[in-house]
Amino acid sequence: MTALFKIALRAIKRNKLRSSLTILGIVIGVGAVIVMVSIGQGAKAFVEKQLESLGTNVLIIIPISTTHAAARGTTGIITLTAEDAFAMVKECSAISYVSPGIRTTTQVVYGNMNWTTGVSGAGPDYQIIRNWTLHGGRFITQQDVNTMAKVCVLGQTVVTNLFGALDPIDRWVRVNNIPFKVVGVLSAKGQSPTGQDQDDMVLMPYTTVQRKIMGVTYISYVLASSTTAESRFEAIDQITSLLRQRHRLRPNEENDFTVISQVEFASTVMETSHTMTVLLGSIAFVSLFVGGIGIMNIMLVSTTERTREIGIRMAVGAKEKDILFQFLIEATVLSSIGGVVGIILGIFTSKLVSYYGGWPSLLSSPSVAVAFLFSNMVGIFFGYYPAKKASRLNPIDALRYE
């Protein structure tokens, strides 16, 4: 068996260029399998993490119409108000919490330290909706909101960058030269599935952000949570009719807001990844098939070229199975080399896709093993016919072959 391996390897080395052209199809096929699997798995992991970190019952209402309102240039921004948000909890039975939201990016100063970060205006329910825990102090209260209190709650990244090891509670930071008292610190959440640092954030009462920092009266979004994950559809319907009514939209007018659900977002991601999987899967299938045909073709040429060699081997006692194995091993080694190169190429490509395309990818060793096994099987499957044909040769005819 080892002798047969040596023979096969030598034959492959002898025709380096031909061998590398032969395995090209396998390389592309296996590469596509790897990219397909890693993108599929990456998307799945991404979605699971996203759902886990945002919650399955979170809804986001943003004041931009899906289609025409925006195109018409309707100033949708001002149409969404805090009162809309409160009406939602009051009127919609499927909504349990809401938090009006507004966000800006600005510099936060403590002493001689400064840090540029996102400042989010929120209501007291924000903590429940986004499932934040406090590392210390307290969260924003309704009282804070009512009085536009100059208080803030800091994320861990902000704490680290402004305070180092100091306890920031009850200390004062400055935003736009206005002092804000730190009343609470959030526990660390780490990176979001999209790679953003969730702890790089300052929370303030949304009224404070509106009036003291931005000088506006609108809100840029509403975060809401439905009573259960299942009731989100009902919640979406209720919000839609409530807001249409509140915004006095005529039946022929488009919504001037959009309700986004995390689950729907997740399923969009899954659908996209599924489409990509199908696409890559067909590329993989076609290239593996073409690669297999290539191997079969080259093996047929190779066995014909080497008919005399086969005859000589048979004359000194090679049995049918010896010849069969010799060429089967050659085909399998060829396709395995293709498999290994394809795996490397696939890993490289999926890394590239996730780096430049922002698409998550995840590769497990079982899927690499499966891809490798696949390339082996292609070799055995397509190498069998030429090998069998060679092994069936009559020694006399093979020896006489010119």
Please pick, from the candidates 179, 319, 357, 370, the single residue that binds another protein as defined by CB under 8 A: 319
Query: Which three-class secondary structure state does DSSP give residue 157?
Result: helix
Binding residues for another protein, how many (CB under 8 A)?
Answer: 20
Q: Which stretch binds another protein (CB under 8 A): 51-59, 261-269, 316-324, 364-372?
A: 316-324
Residues 6+ apart with CB under 8 A from 170: 181, 182, 183
Residues 2-41 that bind another protein (CB under 8 A): 3, 10, 14
Q: Which token pair is 189?
A: 């959440």
Residue number with CB closer to another protein (315 or 373) = 315
Nearer to another protein, 149 or 318 (CB): 318
CB closer to another protein, 90 vs 400: 400
CB of 305 to another protein, least distance (A): 12
Instruction: Burial-class residue 303 by CB neighbours within 10 Å (0-12, 13-18, 19+).
Output: buried
| Beta pairing partners, 184 | 137, 153
In this complex, which beta carbon is closest to another protein, that of residue 68 or of residue 400? 400
**Sequence-distant (≥ 6) Cβ neighbours of residue 304 within 8 angstroms:** none
The residue from 276, 312, 362, 380 that contacts another protein (CB under 8 A) is 312
- What track of x and - describes contact with another protein for positions 270 through 309 (by CB under 8 A)? --------------------------------------xx
Closest CA to 8 of 389, 328, 343, 397: 328
- Distance from chain centroid for Cα 309: 53
| Residue 71 interacting with another protein (CB under 8 A) | no
Nearer to another protein, 212 or 313 (CB): 313
Strand 151-154 and strand 58-62: the pairing is: unpaired
Q: Which of 72, 107, 320, 364 binds another protein (CB under 8 A)?
A: 320
From the list 300, 305, 306, the residue with the least C-alpha distance to 388 is 300
User: Which has the closest alpha carbon to 229: 41, 52, 7?
Assistant: 52
Residues forming contacts to another protein in the complex (CB under 8 A) are 3, 10, 14, 308-309, 311-320, 322, 394-396, 399
